Amino acid sequence: MPTPKRPLSGLLASCLLVSGLVGCAEATPIPTETQPPMVDGDWVGHSQALTAAGATPLTHIGDLVADPAGCLSLVGSDYSRKPPTGMVWTATLDCTTLSAQWQTTVEFATGTELTDIAIMPTDELIAVGNGLDANNAPITGVVAIRDTDGRWATATELGEDSDGPMTALAIERVGDDLMIAGQYDGNASVWLSTDGYEWDRRALPVDEDLSGSQASTLATDGDIIVVAGRGQDEDGETTTLMWNSSDGGRTWDETALPKTATADFRIGTLVHVVGGRGFLAIGSTRSKSSGLTMYSTDGKGWKLAQPPSSGPLDVAIPTGEGRILIIARPLDEDTACGVIGMIWRDGQWRDYDLPCAEAGQARGVMLDDGTIALILGDELWLREPVRR
């Protein structure tokens, strides 16, 4: 079979078509400068970052976010105080000297805890948590907003009319709206808002055999929203629950999960696979003896995706191009390093080197410039992308 001829292109084609000449001078290609690819740089650590910022050994970090006005901000609760106090910390613009520049930016009224933080469409920050009673049990949801001048204020409270357990646990931006996941009157619920001040609650569908339920984490991809949580029957047995919405949270369906997942999977975090397709759920077995993951391409059908041998999976950070950085605890609690790292992409796993930090709470986020920022125990670690 004859080889098909390629069409003439570039300067040679123009020469033949315009002038009709047969012998044209050969065009000299213009050299282009090639840049070396971006690769991970070295980890830079800042010890006692939280302690220097006024945290105590009983401070629990809810989550952190890339801060449009600086480096990053995080929320948490100081349980050394009686009652506990919800707090927000923020970093200055210069992340390289972050350990010396952390500062407590606000201390909310006592009897509060802050669990999550997100960026509003206006680039303001919004935090969510709970007001606590004398026994430290959540009784109302608390929403706080930081304006563009850096001032925090309580925007509203949720569920003041609830007759049963009330919690606000997670918040995400959904397009130009905001969504909170939690529990109202003992039942799993979500709240929708366009401005962070006025919220519309929607109950999530649950089986009538369950005596209680709550939603604890959510992820979004456009109008597709996935929420995960737990339910409890009258005998005290818990089961994993998941819901999905295809219309931005206006209507909801309960998601059918693999039987082994509902019985033994404790979902800690849901993430959207940025630059890829679908969602990833990470967590652990009910006994917390090993890590588990589930993957879905559409938020409705889920499959178990067994990770490499590890302890519970604590953190999932979308890093683009379908990659998810996962931080896990080692199976052997006596190991020298308290965390291990791995990358998930399209069902495939590979190791990812992390700093050898002590065991403790782990949180992380990718900043706008591609820097990975991690809180590992009391330490802050940064890894910038570099060209090599």
Last residue of a domain, one of 134, 158, 182: 158
Two tokens, residue 280: 């990833």
Q: Give a yes or no: residue 125 inside a domain.
A: yes
What's residue 4's pLDDT? 38
Q: Look at residue 298 and tell me if it is in a domain.
A: no
Asked if omega into 29 is within 30° of 0 (cis), the reply is no
**In angstroms, how far is CA 164 from the centroid of its own chain?**
28
Digit-coded pLDDT (tens) for 293-327: 999 999 999 998 888 888 999 999 999 999 999 99
- Which residue has 């929420």 as its token pair? 227
Mean pLDDT across the chain = 85
Q: What is the pLDDT of residue 106?
A: 67
| Residue 124 included in any domain | yes
- What's the pLDDT at 235? 84
pLDDT above 50: residue 16: no
| Strand arrangement of the beta sheet that strand 38-46 belongs to | 38-46, 379-387, 372-376, 362-366
pTM beyond 0.95: the answer is no
Query: What residues are paired with 138 via a beta bridge?
Result: 132
- pLDDT the model gives residue 17: 34
CB-based burial, 172-196: b 16+ in 10 Å, e otherwise: bebeebbbbbbbbebbbbbbbbeeb
Q: Is residue 25 part of a domain?
A: no
Token pair listed for 138: 């959540």
- The arrangement of strands across the sheet holding 59-66 comes to 59-66, 72-78, 85-90, 103-110
pLDDT tens sequence across 33-62: 566 566 788 999 888 888 888 888 899 999
Mean pLDDT of 63-89: 89
Neighbours of 231 (CB within 10 A): 21
Domain boundary among 100, 123, 158: 158
Answer yes or no: is 29 within a domain: no
pLDDT given at position 25: 45
177 or 34, higher pLDDT: 177
Residue 281, pLDDT > 90, answer yes
Domain count along the chain: 2
| Region 182-211 average pLDDT | 95
* Residue 258 lies inside a defined structural domain of this protein: no
Question: Six-digit token pair at 251?
Answer: 């209507």
Please check whether residue 297 lies inside any domain of the structure: no
Range of the domain at 279: 270-287+312-388
Domain boundary among 158, 192, 207: 158
Specify if 22 maps to a domain. Answer: no
